[in-house]
Amino acid sequence: MTYSRIVGTGSYLPEKILTNHDLERMVDTSDEWIRTRTGIAERRIAADDQAASDLALNASRAAMEAGSVSIADIDLVIAATTTPDMVFPSTACILQDKLGIGDCPAFDVQAVCSGFVYALATADMFIRAGKCRAALVVGTEIYSRILDWSDRSTCVLFGDGAGAVVLSRSDQPGILSTHLHADGSYSKLLSVPGSIGGGKVQGNPFIMMDGNTVFKFATRVLEEVVHEALAENGMQVSDIDWLVPHQANIRIIRSTARKLGISMEKVVVTLDRHGNTSAASIPLAIDAAVRDGRIQPGHHVLLEGVGGGFTWGSALIRW
């Protein structure tokens, strides 16, 4: 059997830190409100001359170095992003060029905060179908550019960053299962409704969110996808060594863990340091837990994401 395995992880956060106290000077909010309602302490803001592909470039180099994978080995590039460098070409193509990777498929996946899970599932299917040997999968976002900095209900929640993994062909699993879901009837709950037309932005180019409804939706589906993944693999909750959820809100993460009966000690949380980085949040958290030694070979790691679309999904991995 052919499987895919994650052989290297990497991440990158821009230098500029925006703390909750900084936000107190920008909108009517408080460090206390942001910490208790979201778990976020600070987030990173990309420099004006940085694009999503630049953040991805740094994360990708780190992942390739960690996996001892060379540029010549990569034969698929997938970038999960909601904040691409430009309308086209894709951020994946721009990244491919910046890395100096030769001819291979390269494309973006747009599934908002579930983007990394979607991209990983797609790369896994390419590898298992024998269509590629080593895939670079990146989640990269610059949400600071689509935030209305006068709207306290959204601007305190998000940040910029990138995370990457290299997936390689293997005769040992690897990725045990992936499950992807979407329900477009919820599209208005979380969106950036603007578009480009006639040389101008048409409509609102900032994030709009019905936070309470999104919160309830997220806690429900994040529990469901864990049970779905475990059932497919004949596993129990107790078999999970690490849960790596999308990093949106500590209350969503705690509520999911409580409903599942998973101790928070087995849940990887990094959102305090970078806020909600959408498609970058899961690979940022994976890289942190790999580099500090929590995730070890043989561990069962369950990734789960939910976001605009609505989209949601999981990936169960034997590390």
CA end-to-end span of the chain, whole Å? 17
Find the helix or strand (DSSP H, E) in which 111 lies.
none
Catalytic site includes residue 299: no
CA 240 to chain CA centroid, nearest Å: 20
Taking the complex as a whole, the smallest distance from the CB of residue 38 to ligand UT7 amounts, in Å, to: 5
Catalytic site includes residue 300: no
Which of 46, 69, 248, 279 touches ligand UT7 by CB under 6 A?
248
Which among 8-16, 60-68, 115-123, 208-216 is the span making contact with ligand UT7, rule CB under 6 A?
208-216
- Please list every residue from 216 through 235 that binds ligand UT7, using CB under 6 A: 218
Taking the complex as a whole, the smallest distance from the CB of residue 152 to ligand UT7 amounts, in Å, to: 4
CA 6 to chain CA centroid, nearest Å: 15
User: Taking Cα atoms as reference points, which of 214, 43, 67 lies closest to residue 143?
Assistant: 43
Which of 20, 58, 155, 246 is catalytic? The answer is 246
| Residue 110 makes contact with ligand UT7 by CB under 6 A | no
Smaller CB separation from ligand UT7, 38 or 81: 38
Give the CB-side neighbour count of residue 33, counting CA atoms within 13 A: 11
Question: Could you say which DSSP state residue 306 is in?
Answer: E
| Residue 256 makes contact with ligand UT7 by CB under 6 A | no
**Computed from CA positions of residues 261, 262, 265, 267, in that sequence, does the dihedral angle turn out positive or negative?**
negative
Binding mask 268-287 for ligand UT7 (x = CB under 6 A): --------x-----------
Smaller CB separation from ligand UT7, 190 or 243: 190
What 3-state DSSP class applies to 311? Answer: strand
Q: Is 239 left (phi over 0), alpha (psi -120 to 50) or beta?
A: alpha
Which of 31, 33, 181, 232 touches ligand UT7 by CB under 6 A?
33
Residue 86: both structure tokens together: 């430009």
Catalytic site includes residue 104: no
Taking the complex as a whole, the smallest distance from the CB of residue 47 to ligand UT7 amounts, in Å, to: 24
Which among 89-97, 232-240, 245-253, 295-303 is the span making contact with ligand UT7, rule CB under 6 A?
245-253
